[in-house]
């Protein structure tokens, strides 16, 4: 099969809307600016989030970490400040998806949404929204769904990013771009 070097890669963006943390917006902008890829589909998560009672939130083990993240980190770290990508992405087709939750964390797409996403014949999907996605969506694009993760996800899972690496005095901290699988 001959490779067409003039054809741009078509990609989808899994997101919550048109506002992205600055680092995600920069990733999207660099993909577009490269001239090798173009966004053709926004896959928006419009699932209604269950509101956890405030009393229950206060007694969760991660409550202090979440407050620290919200009131200290997100207000000071430039790469986490929200950036509107509306001007850049306003012409991109959008599909609003309501996911199906199976178990406590696994998110699946409906057959109807999957059919629409597949109809775009995407080369890849970049995940900047949703949570732990599973199922057929992971094969909905030629090269799958890509997701960024801080450091080695086999060693450090969850938040806060880069905290445990420093706490354990690891010699290095990094980031990976991984193709998601159902493993």
What pLDDT score does 166 carry?
Answer: 75
Q: Which domain holds residue 67?
A: 9-179
Is 95 part of any domain? yes
CA angle 63, 67, 60 (to 5 degrees): 5
Is 60 part of any domain? yes
Is 1 part of any domain? no
Q: Is 67's pLDDT higher than 80?
A: no
d(CA 131, CA 43): 13
Structural contact between residues 137 and 117, judged by C-beta atoms closer than 8 angstroms: yes
Q: Which two tokens stand for residue 111?
A: 């057959």
What pLDDT score does 165 carry?
Answer: 78
The pLDDT > 90 percentage for the chain reads 56
What pLDDT score does 158 carry?
Answer: 65
What is the pLDDT averaged over residues 67-84? 69
Is 140 part of any domain? yes
Q: Of 45-54, 100-109, 165-174, which range is least confident?
A: 45-54
The CATH number given to whatever domain includes residue 121 is 3.40.50
d(CA 86, CA 13): 13
What is the pLDDT averaged over residues 159-175? 76
- Phi, psi values for residue 58, rounded to 5°: -65, -30
Is 3 part of any domain? no
Q: Which two tokens stand for residue 88?
A: 């850049």
The pLDDT > 70 percentage for the chain reads 77
What pLDDT score does 6 carry?
Answer: 76
- pLDDT 10s digits, 1-45: 555 667 899 999 999 999 999 999 999 999 999 999 999 999 999
Is 29 part of any domain? yes
pLDDT band, very low/low/confident/very high, at 178 (cuts 50, 70, 90): confident
Structural contact between residues 99 and 130, judged by C-beta atoms closer than 8 angstroms: yes
Full DSSP string of the chain: ----TTSPEEEEEEESSSEEEHHHHHHHHHHHHTSSEEEEEEEEE-PPPPPPPHHHHHTSTTHHHHHHIIIIIHHH-GGGSEEE-HHHHTTSEEEEE--EEETTTEEE--HHHHHHHHHT--SEEEESS-SEE-SGGGGSSTT-EEEEEES-TTT--SSSTTHHHHHTT-S---EEEEE----
Count of the separate structural domains present in the chain: 1
Rg over CA atoms, the chain: 18
Q: Is 175's pLDDT higher than 70?
A: yes
Q: What is the dihedral of CA 77, 105, 119, 36, to 10 degrees?
A: 30
Is 158 part of any domain? yes
């Amino acid at each position: 099969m001959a490779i067409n070097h003039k054809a741009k890669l078509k990609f989808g963006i899994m997101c919550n809307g048109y506002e992205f943390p600055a680092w995600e917006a920069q990733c999207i902008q660099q993909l577009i600016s490269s001239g090798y890829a173009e966004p053709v589909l926004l896959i928006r998560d419009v699932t209604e989030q269950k509101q956890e009672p405030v009393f229950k939130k206060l007694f969760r083990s991660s409550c202090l970490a979440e407050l620290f993240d919200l009131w200290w980190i997100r207000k000071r770290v430039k790469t986490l400040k929200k950036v509107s990508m509306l001007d850049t992405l306003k012409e991109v087709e959008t599909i609003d998806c309501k996911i199906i939750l199976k178990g406590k964390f696994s998110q699946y797409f409906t057959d109807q949404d999957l059919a629409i996403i597949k109809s775009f014949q995407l080369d890849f999907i970049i995940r900047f929204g949703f949570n732990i996605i599973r199922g057929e969506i992971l094969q909905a694009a030629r090269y799958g769904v890509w997701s960024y993760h801080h450091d080695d996800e086999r060693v450090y899972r969850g938040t806060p990013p880069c905290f445990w690496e420093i706490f354990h005095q690891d010699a290095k901290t990094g980031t990976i771009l991984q193709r998601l699988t159902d493993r």
